[in-house]
Amino acid sequence: MKIILSQQNYHIGNFESNTHKIIEAIKSAKTKNADLIVFSEMSICGYPARDFVDFSDFINKCYQSIDVIKEYADDIAVIVGAPDRNPVKEGKDLFNAAFFLYNKQIQNVAHKTCLPTYDVFDEYRYFEPAYNWNVIEFKGKKIALTICEDIWNLGDNPLYRICPMDILMSQQPDVMINISASPFDYTHIEDRKAVIKANVLKYKLPLIYCNAVGSQTEIVFDGASLVFDKDANLCHQLPQFKEDIAEVILNDNGTIESAVIEPALTGPVEQLDTLYYVPSLNISQVHDAIILGIRDYFFKMKFTKAIIGSSGGIDSAVTLALACKALGKENVRAILMPSEFSTSHSVKDAEQLSKNLGNPYDIISIKNIYDQFIQDLEPYFKNLPFSIAEENIQSRTRGNLLMALANKFGYILLNTSNKSELATGYGTLYGDMAGGLGVIGDCYKTQVYELAKFINIEKEIIPLNIITKAPSAELRHEQKDSDSLPEYDILDKILYQYIEKVKGPNEIKAQGFDAALVDRILSMVNKNEYKRNQFCPIIRVSPKAFGVGRRVPIVANYLN
């Protein structure tokens, strides 16, 4: 049996585009004399559709698309993902489903059993778990068809009571096929591979795994679809962050006809546990994920041009370089906005960066605007000493200038805040926290430096002085980030333990960190939730990003 694995980038709610893309892939598969073509989870409507699935019209359009696609499933079978209505009154109204199309008919529908409701997932809000489990018989083979999380319920502490494959094994399947929308993070590709391999080792069956690719607002899907033979040898691995296909030949004896990319391990399969923060971990993947996140956000929203406040610091430099790579240098405008507190080398560094990248830039001094603010507020400030109020005036002035230019010329403002700043509240609402998309908001400061080094791997794009100088907001004379924050190499390790690893204060202190410093940092994180709650979407690259995947109260007293 020849099976085509089709890894595609879908657009949520764009039924015409998604349907066209699927049909074109089916036509191509027919020219290869394929018996079956497999698409990813929720391929019809895009994933995650979230509350769109509450609209009957949205679900109707899903079925209409399936009706169009099934006409092309004549002498080839097609597996696509879409919501399916639940005819039973009790329970949720929908299933997360995989439709098996053949002979221009819906021959079978498999429903998802394990509905993730954690981090960025909220499936039990919308879907009912499967009621029954049956293999699909096709051309002499029995297919165990599952959806994403259904193969993740392994290990000593399973999250769900029912494991679909345990039930399906009683029907003696020949092959496992899993359609998925598994998001990227910089630890997940190894975890994912380990889980899939663990399924193969447990059930002694080949597994064909089709994952989605593309960015949906903050969530990046990296593809990296996989095929393992029954002996747990990796036979196919599609690339990350781009569309592609694989031709899989499933022999009568259950073997996969392919060269082995990666042989099976002889010992037990263990998932990657990044207990300790490693800023350089998979930094090339983080780079590529952010590029895809920017590119898809603009393309799918029909935006074309970006604007960035370029300060001569590391964060704006990395953001600008990534944006130019994603959108084209001619489509990214940098605005340098020096004040009396800006150092001359910062302006020169920012200018040199834009010259290296070749993007357009302008210099707008904020001194006159700032001076006018201070003059008009002088009667009310009552000669009180310079404070954060004056600092924030500068930041909000810059935010206003950027948004004015964005509104006038149709730019989207890209935010340059990093995760260390967002975690500790080291930023100004409506100032440097303004923007339509947070580019590096899921990268700690030390990761931003690693990204800068990666961007410069072939030649110096980001001026060396930007990378080597002490970071500063330059909102007062001789200011440095270390005046307000611990050194980043310590701060980021503590933040990682609290945010990504969900460790409490005593657990973090037991790792050797200073007790007073841990208490101070955790208090800063919790006190500044109100700022993050007003922040723009952040491209997710970590196991726990700020945004929809991390939900904590604003008004609370825990660790404050």
Percent of the chain predicted with pLDDT > 90: 90
pLDDT in tens, 263-278: 886 555 566 666 789 9
364 has a pLDDT exceeding 80: yes
> Is 314 among the annotated ligand-binding positions?
yes
d(CA 455, CA 35): 43
Q: How much is the average pLDDT of 248-259?
A: 86
- Would you say 523 is a known binding-site residue? no
pLDDT of residue 272: 62
Q: 112 catalytic, yes or no?
A: yes
**pLDDT-derived band at 252, boundaries 50, 70, 90:** confident
For the chain, how far is it from start to end, CA to CA, in angstroms? Answer: 61
CA distance 242 to 8: 8
Work out the average pLDDT over 271-297: 91
> Residues 408-421: what's their mean pLDDT?
98
Within 8 A by CB and 6+ apart from 27, the residues are 72
Architecture of domain 283-532: 3-Layer(aba) Sandwich (3.40)
Contact status, residue 40 vs residue 81, Cβ threshold 8 Å: yes
What is the SS3 assignment for 107?
strand
Q: Residue 341: helix, strand or coil by DSSP?
A: coil
C-alpha–C-alpha distance, residues 193 and 440, integer Å = 26
pTM above 0.85, yes or no: yes
Sequence spans of domains, the chain: 2-249, 283-532
CA–CA separation, 554 and 560 (whole Å): 11
The answer to whether 283 is a known ligand-binding residue is no
Is 41 noted as a catalytic residue in this protein? yes
Q: Is 3.60.110.10 the CATH classification of the domain at 2-249?
A: yes
Q: Which of 45, 62, 148, 235 is catalytic?
A: 148
Determine if residue 468 is labeled as part of a ligand binding site. Answer: no
- Residue 85 tokens, joined: 């209505």
pLDDT above 90 (res 331): yes
Mean pLDDT score, 87-96: 97
Q: Is 438 annotated as a binding residue?
A: no
pLDDT value for 483: 85
The catalytic position among 41, 391, 450, 474 is: 41
Window from 252-261, 268-277, 394-403, 491-500 with minimum mean pLDDT: 268-277
The one catalytic residue in 21, 70, 112, 197 is 112
The verdict on whether residue 358 carries a ligand-binding annotation is no
Instruction: Tell me the pLDDT of the chain averaged across its residues.
Output: 95
pLDDT at 203 over 80: yes
State pLDDT tens for residues 169-190.
999 999 999 999 999 999 998 8
Specify the range with the lowest mean pLDDT, choosing from 8-22, 258-272, 300-314. Answer: 258-272
| pLDDT digits 0-9 by tens, 28-86 | 999 999 999 999 999 999 999 999 999 999 999 999 999 999 999 999 999 999 999 99
Q: Is 421 annotated as a binding residue?
A: yes
Rounded Cα gap, residues 42 and 81, in angstroms: 4
Does residue 444 have a pLDDT over 60? yes
Which residues face 415 on adjacent strands?
Answer: 438
Q: Which residues contact 141 (CB under 8 A, 6 or more apart)?
A: 1, 174, 175, 250
Answer yes or no: 148 catalytic: yes
Share of the chain above pLDDT 70, in %: 98
Residue 266 has a pLDDT of 57
At 176, give phi and psi (nearest 5°).
-100, 135
Whole-number Å distance between alpha carbons of 525 and 420: 10
393: annotated binding-site residue?
Answer: no
